[in-house]
C-alpha cells in the first residue's frame, strides 16, 4: 500500500469522526434525547385505582366519594393488625417464649385484616352492582390485578416469587 492510500484513509477517517462528533454535539445542543426515556411508573392505588381510571369521570367521582368514609372505618383495623404483628414478632426473642400469647396476637391481627378486607370486597361489589355490564366487567378485573403500589407488583423491590400480593 502506498503513502497516497494511507493519506486518503487518514483523511476519510478524520472526516467521518468530525461528522459523527458534530452530529452528537448538535443533537445535544438541540435538546435531542439520545437515550429512550425511562418507563413511566404504574399509577398508584393498586388494581382498583388503575381500573377506576378507565371508568367515566362521574363513576370515578362516585367511587372517590365513598373513600373517606371507608378509610375512616377500616384504616384503624389495618393499623392495629400491623401493630399486633410487629409486637408479636418483637416478642420472639423473649425468655420464656410466650408461644400462646404471640399466637393469640397473630390470630387477632389476621381477624382484623379479614374484617377490613371483607369490607373492601363488599364495597367493590356494592359499587359494581349499580354499573352497566361492560363497566362491571372492567371493575371485576381489578380483583384479578396485583397491587401495584409504590414498590412494584409483589409489594417490595425485586418481589419474591410466590409471595402474596398486598
Is residue 166 scored above 70 in pLDDT?
no
pLDDT tens sequence across 96-110: 999 999 999 999 999
pTM: 0.55
Task: Evaluate whether 46 touches 149 at the Cβ level (below 8 Å).
Answer: yes
Mean pLDDT of the chain: 80
Q: Where are the domains of the chain?
A: 46-142
Kindly state the cell numbers that stand for 92: 420472639
| pLDDT for 144 | 75
Q: Rounded distance, CA 164 to CA 166, Å?
A: 6
Residue 87 CB contacts under 8 Å (≥ 6 apart), including other chains? 105
Please name the CATH architecture into which domain 46-142 falls.
Up-down Bundle (1.20)
Amino acid at each position: 500500500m502506498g503513502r497516497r492510500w494511507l493519506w486518503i484513509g487518514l483523511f476519510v477517517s478524520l472526516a467521518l469522526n468530525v461528522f459523527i462528533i458534530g452530529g452528537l454535539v448538535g443533537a445535544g445542543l438541540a435538546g435531542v434525547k439520545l437515550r429512550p426515556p425511562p418507563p413511566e411508573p404504574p399509577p398508584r392505588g393498586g388494581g382498583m385505582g388503575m381500573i377506576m381510571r378507565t371508568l367515566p369521570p362521574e363513576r370515578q367521582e362516585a367511587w372517590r366519594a365513598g373513600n373517606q368514609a371507608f378509610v375512616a372505618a377500616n384504616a384503624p383495623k389495618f393499623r392495629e393488625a400491623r401493630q399486633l404483628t410487629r409486637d408479636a414478632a418483637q416478642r420472639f426473642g423473649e425468655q420464656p417464649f410466650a408461644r400462646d400469647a404471640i399466637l393469640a396476637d397473630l390470630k387477632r391481627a389476621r381477624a382484623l385484616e379479614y374484617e377490613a378486607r371483607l369490607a373492601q370486597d363488599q364495597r367493590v361489589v356494592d359499587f359494581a352492582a349499580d354499573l352497566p355490564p361492560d363497566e362491571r366487567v372492567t371493575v371485576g378485573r381489578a380483583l384479578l390485578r396485583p397491587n401495584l403500589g409504590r414498590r412494584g407488583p409483589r409489594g417490595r423491590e425485586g418481589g419474591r416469587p410466590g409471595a402474596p400480593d398486598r
